[in-house]
Chains A and B, each alone.
Chain A
Amino acid sequence: GQQLNQSPQSMFIQEGEDVSMNCTSSSIFNTWLWYKQDPGEGPVLLIALYKAGELTSNGRLTAQFGITRKDSFLNISASIPSDVGIYFCAGQLYSGAGSYQLTFGKGTKLSVIP
Chain B
Amino acid sequence: DVKVTQSSRYLVKRTGEKVFLECVQDMDHENMFWYRQDPGLGLRLIYFSYDVKMKEKGDIPEGYSVSREKKERFSLILESASTNQTSMYLCASSLLGGGETQYFGPGTRLLVL
Contact = CB atoms under 8 A, between A and B. Distances in A.
Interface of A: 1, 30-31, 33, 35, 40-45, 48, 50, 88, 90, 92, 94, 97-102, 104-107
Contact of A45 (B48, B103, B105, B107): B103
A97 B56 contact: yes
B101 A48 contact: yes
Contact of B41 (A31, A33, A106): A106
Given A98-B50, A99-B50, A107-B42, A40 B109 contact: yes
A88 B42 contact: yes
Given A40-B107, A40-B109, A104-B43, A97 B50 contact: yes
Contacts of A45: 101-103
A105 B105 CA distance: 19
Contacts of A104: 42-43
B56 A41 contact: no
B40 to A, nearest CB: 7
Interface residues of B, number: 29
Interface of B: 4, 31, 33, 40-43, 45, 48, 50-51, 56, 58-59, 90, 92, 94, 96, 98-107, 109
29 contacts: A1-B59, A30-B98, A30-B99, A31-B99, A31-B101, A35-B104, A41-B106, A42-B104, A42-B106, A44-B104, A45-B102, A45-B103, A90-B102, A92-B99, A92-B101, A94-B98, A98-B50, A98-B51, A99-B48, A99-B50, A99-B96, A100-B100, A101-B45, A101-B48, A101-B58, A102-B33, A102-B45, A105-B42, A106-B41
